[in-house]
A and B are shown apart, each in its own frame.
Chain A
Amino acid sequence: AQSVTQPDIHITVSEGASLELRCNYSYGATPYLFWYVQSPGQGLQLLLKYFSGDTLVQGIKGFEAEFKRSQSSFNLRKPSVHWSDAAEYFCAVQDSSYKLIFGSGTRLLVRP
C-alpha cells in the first residue's frame, strides 16, 4: 500500500538558518508528490509539486524540493528560514485513483 513517512515530528531552526524537512514515500509507480503547508487555523496551501522531469522543483515562498527515486525521498528545503515559515508541513503522494495520501506532518518552529 502507498504510504508517506515524515520522520521528524518537530523541527526547530533559528531564523536565517537553512531548513530540510524529510519525506519518504512508498509507491510502486512513478509518484506524483506534493508539499503542503498549514499555518495555525488555516487550510492546506500547496508549496510545490513533482510530476515528472527535473527532479529539483521550485515552489512558492522560496522553497524547493528534490525527488530522489533511488532513496524514495522528496525532501523540502529552504536556504534561509523566516519567522513566518513557522507552520506544519505535509508531504503527500497522489495514488492511482488521484486521492492524496499524506504523511503525519512536521511542525516547524523558528527561533528568533
Chain B
Amino acid sequence: EPEVTQTPSHQVTQMGQEVILRCVPISNHLYFYWYRQILGQKVEFLVSFYNNEISEKSEIFDDQFSVERPDGSNFTLKIRSTKLEDSAMYFCASSAAQGVYEQYFGPGTRLTVT
C-alpha cells in the first residue's frame, strides 16, 4: 500500500540553524500539507500546497518557514533560523484531491532545537 515517507525521523539542531524536513507524498497525490505537534499539545495545521503554490498557511507559518516541491516526488519544509519553540513533531500529509478525500500522514520528523 502506498505511503507517505518522511526523513529524517529525528533531527537535532542548534538554535538559529536552518533545517530542511523532507517528505515523499503518495505518487499520484496533488495536495500536500504540513502539520506539527508540540509535545503534549494538539496537532496543528501549518500549510497546504497545490500546483506549486501555497494554498493556505496558518499564523504559525511565518517568514521563517517555507515549503517547496523541488522535483516530482519530494515536498520539503524549511525553517530558516530555528527557535527553541520550533521543537515539535512535524507531519507531512498528502491527498489525491481536495474535498471529501482523506489525508494520508507520514510517520513524522521529530525536531529538537537546543
Contact = CB atoms under 8 A, between A and B. Distances in A.
Q: What does DSSP make chain A's interface, helix, strand, loop or mixed? A: strand
Contacts, number: 49
Interface string B75-114: 0000000000000000101010011101111111000000
A25 to B, nearest CB: 13
A97 B102 contact: no
A99 B107 contact: no
Interface residues of A, number: 22
A51 B100 contact: yes
A98 B102 contact: no
B102 A90 contact: no
Contact of B98 (A51, A98, A105): A98
Interface of A: 32, 34, 36, 41-46, 49, 51, 90, 92, 97-105
User: Which 9 A-B residue pairs are closest in the complex by CB-CB distance?
Assistant: A43-B107, A44-B105, A102-B43, A99-B45, A98-B98, A104-B42, A43-B105, A51-B100, A102-B42
